[in-house]
Copies of this chain bind each other. A is one copy, B any other.
Amino acid sequence: MNILYVFAHQEAKSFNSTLKEAAITSLEKNGHDVRLSDLYSMQFKPVLDRDDFTQPKRDDIFNPFLEQMNASKNASFSRDILDEMEKVKWADFLIFQFPIYFTNMPAIMKGWIDRVFAPGFAFNPATQSAYDTGLLKGKKAMVVTSTGAEESWYSEGGPHGDIRELLRYLTHCTLEFTGLEVFPSHIIFGAGNMSQERVDGEIQRYMEKLDSVAPKES
């Protein structure tokens, strides 16, 4: 499979980076082609603004939705967006890995969604292309995330509540919205301060998950 790995952590020596490196090694060993978008190291621009459009439809007023629709038609997004769109088109499977910040993506990952999953490219209200008819239909996706809080905080009846319900704005309203088939999220709870034994166990658990969602190519 062609796999696009969209990754957001600032530190190459972090647990998240260790997990990402292990994943890429394992996926490639299993015969997959992997492309990485390492958002912090790319200094990916998270802010959707006028600079995203090389041939703006209107100069007098900036309407992000209309500009994205127009740029989708004319392939007139800025180069960094076009590059990410090419990777999405190439990919059969998209993995999004990030540490949870406030039950949500870090801003840099949210900016990737805002700018790359543009209307006209990932979905299209004008043609009612969303969910079952989303423009990325046929591809798969998975969210991989670590939380500082322990699992009890993110369970039904816990202070935050069930994390899988809370993440529906992402798994359902964002990823499934574009037509992606979404695997259950892979979540590492209480990742703030882990022993080496725990780290090794979490790497092992993630590799097993990857083997099941992206089986060895034959």
Q: Which residues of A contact B (CB under 8 A)?
A: 10-11, 13-14, 40, 46-50, 61-65, 101-108, 110-111, 113-114, 117, 125, 130-131, 148, 159-161, 165-170, 172-174, 177, 192
A selection of 8 A-B contacts at a CB cut-off of 8 Å is: A10-B64, A13-B61, A40-B47, A102-B117, A102-B169, A103-B169, A107-B108, A161-B172
CA–CA, A174 and B154, complex, Å: 13
The reply to whether A160 and B173 form a contact with Cβ atoms under 8 Å apart is yes
A11-B61, A65-B148 are known contacts. Are A169 and B48 too (CB-CB below 8 A)? no
A55 CB, nearest partner CB in chain B, Å: 18
Complex partner residue of A111 from B10, B46, B49, B159, CB under 8 angstroms: B46
* Dominant SS among interface residues on chain A: loop
The reply to whether B148 and A160 form a contact with Cβ atoms under 8 Å apart is no
Complex partner residue of A108 from B47, B103, B160, CB under 8 angstroms: B47
CA–CA, A104 and B206, complex, Å: 27
CA–CA, A103 and B172, complex, Å: 10
The reply to whether B104 and A104 form a contact with Cβ atoms under 8 Å apart is yes
The reply to whether A48 and B102 form a contact with Cβ atoms under 8 Å apart is no
The reply to whether B49 and A46 form a contact with Cβ atoms under 8 Å apart is no
CA–CA, A48 and B102, complex, Å: 13
Q: Which residues of the other chain, B, contact A174 by a CB distance below 8 angstroms? A: 102-104
CA–CA, A166 and B176, complex, Å: 15
Q: Which residues of the other chain, B, contact A101 by a CB distance below 8 angstroms? A: 48, 110, 113-114
Q: Which residues of the other chain, B, contact A166 by a CB distance below 8 angstroms? A: 168-169, 173
